[in-house]
Amino acid sequence: MKHLVVIGGGHAGIEAAHIAARMGMATTLLTMNLDQIGQMSCNPSIGGVGKGHMVRELDALGGAMGRLIDLTGIHFRILNESRGVAVRGPRAQADKVKYRIAARRLLEHQAHLKLRQGTAAALLWESGTRNLRGVELLDGSVLPCDAVVITSGTFLNGRILIGARRLEAGRAGEPASTHLAEQLRALGLRHRRLKTGTSPRLARASIDFTRLQVQPGDNPPRPFSFFSPGIPQPQVPCHIVHTTAQTETIVRENLPQSSLYGGHIEGVGPRYCPSIEDKFVKFPDKGRHQIFVEPESLETEEIYLAGLSTSMPPDVQLRMVRSLPGFEAAEILRPGYAIEYDSFDPLQLRRDLSVEGLEGVWFAGQINGTTGYEEAAGQGLLAGINAVRWLREQEPIVLGRDQAYLGVMVDDLVTKGTDEPYRMLTARAEHRLGLACDLADARLLAVAREVGALEPEELARVEAKVLRREALRGQCEAAWVTQTSPFGGIATAAGLRLEAGLSLSDLFRRQHIGPAEADACLALLDDWGREQPGWDLATERDLLLFDLRYTPYRDREAKLLEGHRAWDQVRIPSDFRIEQLHGISREVLEKLSLHRPETLGQASRIPGVTPAAVTLLHLHLHRYRSI
């Protein structure tokens, strides 16, 4: 019987092991410490703009993260809610203690999945890097397997930095993984050092919350998962504070003591999650910076300062923290730190996240140069799915850029690569009008059927929702609005003059019709208020208005997509000698040789590869196939 091993118990590892087991594959999750499965080393939160979209997508395919945050979340908010359905994103603060417990419990009760504590030392093949036969552990034992997903996070040659101090560690209190890192380097994989960081944790009782701006959560909170029955945890507020002129003075006077500015760090840090040192140096015109004061758990008294990531020495960190209003007597329980680790160039990955030249090996998470729990989870899910499908001799699941943010992320990584920790942003998606997070379950329904990880009743729930939406749109097309109809009275009250009759769909396309008017109209339709699992009236009304008002733009986008899809269907054989092509510039040939695109569509998205070069490449492929 085929067997899959997942190395690493972080968010990528959880998803890879969980989805593989849900697909019926015998799976073992190997982690250094079973008690740290699902640990939130940085901010204990899930989601946000772009990131929340990906959590909804992996949930639609059978992933775990959405369900776990619904079980353990203590503060839920929809971000960008006023900016439209396409770009709003759910975010939740997790109880990190309960999240970790829930993640382990989920895996322990998952059929076909075993947990194993140990440290991976080496991958073992029968011949060179072909026919994988197992994973050797530091204790000398071997876990037999036919495929492996490596989700090592920050543990490969990990090093914590606080001021001038360097500690070999994968994260605070846990050892680094050096043996596997050295094997992967020795195999000739292109690697680089990346950096991330975390903020100090404070004692709640030492903070004067009366001087902080309260940030309430949504009431009621809305679940992440399409399949969660509700939110069981008590909800608590977060708070906001801003840095002061004194904070900036302390940071600037002590920059040489920072690991980052003291010359102790080799790795490149995340552009979109800078340290407090970077904020003051790179944004000198900004007078103050916003800090989010967030609880870590209902079980502890620790408070996290999101936005105050730092690698300053502990005494400087304390002075920085105490310069904030309401923090004059603050006590640091755990100082913030920077961490460097090995990652490997994602251009060495195929579109299914398998590693070129290493048979039976998939990479997911920070090892691929990404940052964030959600990015890691999304890669873990896809790597787990495709490892199982490879073992079963099935075609991989490759999501398009127009299908999912998960598809955008993977295509960015394997086509463009990354020189810094990659973070998902809605701006990365060219087709975001069609990628609203509330539609992820319907949008990915066909893929979910093919993956086969959802329970039959879960699939049936999504299918019923899709059918009801179609019926609702049919009712709106059929319902006729005149001055004398009940709909007409609502339209007149909204300031519309109805010179002639029109359909309810056309009425909803008018900007005069806001949520209240739409609700009043929909209440007149049969079946609108009928309860159904997963059917939320406010959400469905917003989705209906979004669909009707943006259909012309989406139709225009769909026409543009037809050409892109055609290029993505033209495969470039693995034995095609790109470097020997004639008529294409040396610069483009070098880029094509480095990136090794699998399709013409991928080739067209490589920075610096011109449309003319893609056309010539297509001509060479046609000649190659006719030989």
Contact 412, 401 (CB under 8 A): no
Q: What are phi and psi of 94, to 5 degrees?
A: -95, 150
Answer yes or no: is 281 a known binding residue. yes
Amino acid identity of residue 575, one-letter, is D
The string of DSSP letters for 79-122 reads: ETGGG-TTT-EEEEEE-HHHHHHHHHHHHHTSTTEEEEE--EEE
- List, in order, residues 6 or more apart from 566 with CB less than 8 Å away: none
Q: What is the DSSP letter of 481?
A: E
Answer yes or no: is 153 a known binding residue. no
Answer yes or no: is 10 a known binding residue. yes
- List, in order, residues 6 or more apart from 195 with CB less than 8 Å away: 260, 265, 267, 268, 269, 270, 338, 339, 340, 341, 421
Answer yes or no: is 624 a known binding residue. no
Cα three-residue angle 7-12-16, rounded to 5 degrees? 70
The string of DSSP letters for 448-464 reads: HHHHT-S-HHHHHHHHH
For 201, the enclosing helix (H) or strand (E) is: strand 201-203
Answer yes or no: is 99 a known binding residue. no
Q: What are phi and psi of 485, to 5 degrees?
A: -80, 160
Q: Cα separation of 34 and 560, whole Å? A: 49
Answer yes or no: is 315 a known binding residue. no
No. of helices (H) and no. of strands (E), the chain: 20, 23
Answer yes or no: is 369 a known binding residue. no
Answer yes or no: is 270 a known binding residue. yes
**Secondary structure string (H, E, C) spanning 160-192:** EEECCEEEECCECCECCECHHHHHHHHCCCCEE
Answer yes or no: is 282 a known binding residue. yes
Answer yes or no: is 274 a known binding residue. yes
Burial 387-404 (b: 16+ CB within 10 A, else e): bbbbbeeeeebbbebbbb
Q: What are phi and psi of 98, to 5 degrees?
A: -70, -35
Q: Cα separation of 21 and 452, whole Å? A: 11
Answer yes or no: is 105 a known binding residue. no
Answer yes or no: is 291 a known binding residue. no
Tokens of 382: 């896809």
Q: What are phi and psi of 143, to 5 degrees?
A: -95, 110
Tokens of 490: 């609502």
Answer yes or no: is 98 a known binding residue. no
Answer yes or no: is 8 a known binding residue. yes
Answer yes or no: is 272 a known binding residue. yes
Answer yes or no: is 278 a known binding residue. yes
Tokens of 123: 């991958």
Answer yes or no: is 476 a known binding residue. no
Binding site, annotated residues for FAD: 8-13
Binding site, annotated residues for NAD(+): 269-283
Binding site, annotated residues: 8-13, 269-283
